[in-house]
Structure 1
């Protein structure tokens, strides 16, 4: 924190730092939560307490109440953003993912961090998930944490693995992309790559290449 916020040592301890820490605790955040929050946004402890109160109100305004499991992420997402910028990003999300007011509210509650994604990043994810994968907007809204994952390192490669396995009759269960991308790399490889070494000897190689951005048009079967 000191590396990112050199004003921490000069901030008024009794009038600024302590009141902010106490208020954040009153909002249901533990000390570890506050530490994580301030590492990403170190000014949270040194800014005017009234501004911190306004940030909390903003987090609640996007539908994430104090004390909830996503409150720290919500506060981190709206910190130091004006209401106008938040409103503009919400409108962009609605237009890009074709979400209704209710659906964008659900998406924000599930993954507040979507507010910190760039417009270009969100557009690429929308084009891929809606146009390529064929997911319905309401489906994405209820599983908006899928938008947190890297397009190149996670979403696209794993989609092509699932598609390849399904097309070749190697997937013996109904596995969603959302479930697949939430797996750790180790679990994904153990469950979806290793069991098919004999039937699809190039799968591991093609998947590794895809994760590096060298995505083949089609994974090789033989």
Structure 2
């Protein structure tokens, strides 16, 4: 982690770091302490563009409904691809929940952090019969073709 932290700040002066921290506070509605937690867990957040962070904030807070504190404590999820990982997995799990194929529900942190292989084994493969298009829809979503609704039949 120390190596990642050094890499993140190597080319940033104090003013740029301060600006990035302020942007994180505004974008995710974090306190100073929450920014500290988030950056300590994912120092590369300091290298992300404002637009990239804004899109992730809008998605995770507004669409998924995650609390800012939850995100701060699991900030590594902000380093994942929004279009290639976060959105497709969210839509797949949402589809499974809405159609009664997933009892209870895993935390989104778990869903986002799992490797692609593990995610597919847990959430896609077990539902091949009940939701025959799930794998196809998930694959399309991973390519950026997020369907408005995953198909059931």
Q: TM-score, normalised by structure 1?
A: 0.68
Q: Does 1:210 align with 2:135?
A: no
Aligned to 1:166: 97
Q: CA RMSD in A?
A: 0.8
Larger Rg: 1
Q: Distance in 2 between matches of 1:155 and 1:90?
A: 23
Gaps of 5+ in 1: 1-69
Alignment deviations for residues 116-154 of structure 1 (CA, whole Å, 9 cap, x no partner): 111110000000000000000000000000001000110
3-state SS, counterpart of residue 93 of structure 1? helix
Gaps of 5+ in 2: none
Q: Distance in 1 between matches of 2:83 and 2:135?
A: 16
Q: Distance in 1 between matches of 2:47 and 2:12?
A: 10
- 1:184 aligned to 89, 95, 115, which one? 115
3-state SS, counterpart of residue 6 of structure 2? helix
Q: Distance in 1 between matches of 2:104 and 2:123?
A: 11
Q: Distance in 2 between matches of 1:203 and 1:80?
A: 43
Aligned residues: 153
Aligned to 1:146: 77
Aligned to 2:26: 95
Moved over 3 A (4+): none
For CA contacts below 8 A with separation 6 or more, give which structure has more relative contact order: 2
